[in-house]
Structure 1
Amino acid sequence: MSPNDRDYSEKRDYIRMRVDAEVTLIHQGQVIPAVCIDLSSTGMQVRATRSFKVGDQLSVRIDSEHAALRGLEADTEVVWVTELEGNGQKLGLTILKMN
């Protein structure tokens, strides 16, 4: 079952942590700065200035500010896109694999 097949209430069963952290997206060799809005065990919501489409696969890196904590690196897939007024998009990313 794909994330799109789950009903709304099931998607909300996952705990979401508000993050507002700078992240790096890597798509086809391009490095794109973005902001992670929230994060759960299965995905994340990201705001980016570059346009993506559903199905795009992105590597995401969130660096840790603490030397004792490792940052997050994950392979993800875009599952929804919302255009923002002016410039950019909000993206729903499902985590395919943690690196």
Structure 2
Amino acid sequence: MSEHERDYAEKRDFIRMRVDAEVSLIHAGQVIAAVCVDLSGSGMQVQAPKRFKAGDRLSVRIDSDHAALKGLNADTEVVWVADQDDGGQKLGLSILKMN
């Protein structure tokens, strides 16, 4: 198996959960409201109104409305970008570290 085939196969080792959760993206001191489209153990897909590029590092925060459940705080890297007709972007984020 080639390295490319192995990398693709490993990506599918994580189940993706379809979500529609408000998230905060923190980049260069700015907090940007966005929406998490799906989430897995290794990354997430986010719809953002601001433009980013592959390689950008973002902190992602998903707050919890439930006192018993902790929210999510993660350091991520943009691995792919898809421009949207409305001027926003869909971002593929790889989770580097959970905080």
TM-score by length of 1: 0.90
The runs of 4+ residues in structure 1 deviating greater than 2 Å are: 4-10
CA shift, 1:65, in A, is 1.0
CA shift, 1:12, in A, is 2.1
Residues 61-99 of structure 1: CA deviation (Å, up to 9, x unaligned): 000010111100000000000000122000000000000
| Runs of at least 5 residues in structure 1 that lack an aligned partner in the other structure | none
- Name 1:62's counterpart in structure 2: 62
Residues 37-75 of structure 1: CA deviation (Å, up to 9, x unaligned): 000000000000000000000000000010111100000
- Between the aligned partners of 1:86 and 1:74, the Cα distance in structure 2 is 27
- Between the aligned partners of 1:17 and 1:65, the Cα distance in structure 2 is 19
TM-score by length of 2: 0.90
| Runs of at least 5 residues in structure 2 that lack an aligned partner in the other structure | none
Rg (Cα) greater in structure:
2
Percent identity of paired positions between Structure 1 and Structure 2: 73
Question: Please, what is the CA RMSD of the aligned residues?
Answer: 1.6
